[in-house]
Structure 1
Amino acid sequence: MLTALAAFHSDSDLQTVLQLLRTGDVNAKASQAGQTALMLAVSHGRGDMVRALLTCGAQVNLQDDDGSTALMCACEHGHVDIVRQLLSVPGCDATLTDNVSKNYIYL
């Protein structure tokens, strides 16, 4: 999970990060809020890490305990480039809703 916050400055660093990501479960959820490494990278605006995670099989539509997805996190934090990146993933579902927005009444 913490690999999602790792910085890499060279191709060698990137290869090390990719090896770590491929060794573990990139879709594992944190025990407290159910967030994934992809959601963590998105929340911190780490577009490079988002690309690495997606390359290693991170699932873009997984939802945390509140029903939020990585796309929702990107929108919430104003990371427009990451929103575009996630929307370009085949199968990215922009119609998913979280547990909070299901309670709103739209007029």
Structure 2
Amino acid sequence: MQVFNHHIYEFKKGVRDMVLCTLSANLEDKVIAKLERNGICYMIQRLRKGNINVFFGKEECLVVINKLCKNRSLDQLSPEEDFMIGTLLGYSVCEQCRRYCKRKKTESEVIVENM
């Protein structure tokens, strides 16, 4: 919950537009209460092994997250969808490019030495 609370702080300060936090499912009621108390849009995705993914942030970002992830887990996303989610979450664009290429198995074609 400490990390979750810190993510809320960062979101409210404008550091992040979108957050993904994985928590134990037994915290779901507390998480929902806190997000609703703060007027923050969210989406909860139930995972295997008793965990939940909590996406929260700006409404326009959540619309995209919902369209991509509504009935699928993150490991079922295409490389392109995974790239979009990572970018929305504010992950390094270069790291997202590497991840995309690795998932597409074309990294050696894209990374050019001594440019």
TM (normalized to structure 1)?
A: 0.32
Larger Rg: 1 or 2? 2
TM (normalized to structure 2)?
A: 0.30
More strand by share: 2
More helix by share: 2
